[in-house]
Amino acid sequence: MSKKKTRKANKNQSFFTIKNIVVGIVIVSFAGYFIANNFISSPKQETKTLKRFTGFDFQKEGELTFSSAENEFINKIDIEIADTPEQRQVGLMYRVKMREDRGMLFIFDDERPQSFWMRNTEISLDILFVNKDMEIVRIHKNTQPFTETSYPSVRPALYVVEVNAGYTDRNNIKEGDKIVWRRI
């Protein structure tokens, strides 16, 4: 084979190698973009999608009263009740707002240390852990939305109350205060 033909063959091989690399990069980039946009979604994207398919309107199922350790009335809210594993798992996820006079009461089967997180929860909350004697044993204030940070009760709790962030400060509710609730 002549030198001219050999150089041309080598040049063609180099061209195809570079061309293959460029095509490979384009394909990998496109695949990465497709996967990122269709399979990996941020919590806000997930929330918008799920809200279209599920109804999360408040449904009053009871009333809850806060009182001081000395049994002096503090405030009253309307509550939704989460007393099944499925209801407790969803809680206030996917809600975009909640009125000040509303909250959610979680009822557990047995009193033990509890722990909550804010996964898929769009609104900041105050989380109150309550023992079997209806005493507030722990308050986590102004929780961070969309996090998997653990908010533990530390002490055993049978109930958990979730209200809007800042509610406990605005109403001077503190650990040692009590709750009373009833279904309607």
Contacts 24+ apart (CB under 8 A), 50-56: 50/94, 50/120, 51/94, 51/96, 54/94, 56/94, 56/95
157-164/151-152 β-pairing: unpaired
Map out the domains of the chain as residue ranges.
3-40, 52-183
Task: Report the C-alpha gap between 120 and 140 in whole angstroms.
Answer: 18
> What pLDDT sits at residue 86?
95
State the chain's maximal CA–CA distance in angstroms: 104
Summarize the confidence of residues 17-29 as an average pLDDT: 68
Cα 163 to Cα 16, 49, 80: the distances in Å are 64, 25, 11
What is the chain's alpha carbon radius of gyration, rounded to the nearest angstrom? 28
User: Per residue in 46-89, pLDDT tens?
Assistant: 444 444 334 568 999 999 999 999 999 999 999 999 999 999 99
User: Which pLDDT value is given to residue 120?
Assistant: 93
**What pLDDT digit, counting tens, does each position of 152-162 carry?**
999 999 999 99
The confidence score (pLDDT) of residue 57 equals: 83
Domain 52-183 has CATH 3.40.960.10: no
Contacts of 45 (CB under 8 A, 6+ apart): none
pLDDT number for residue 41 = 43
pLDDT at 4: 55
Retrieve residue 95's tokens.
């809600």
Higher pLDDT, 18 or 156: 156
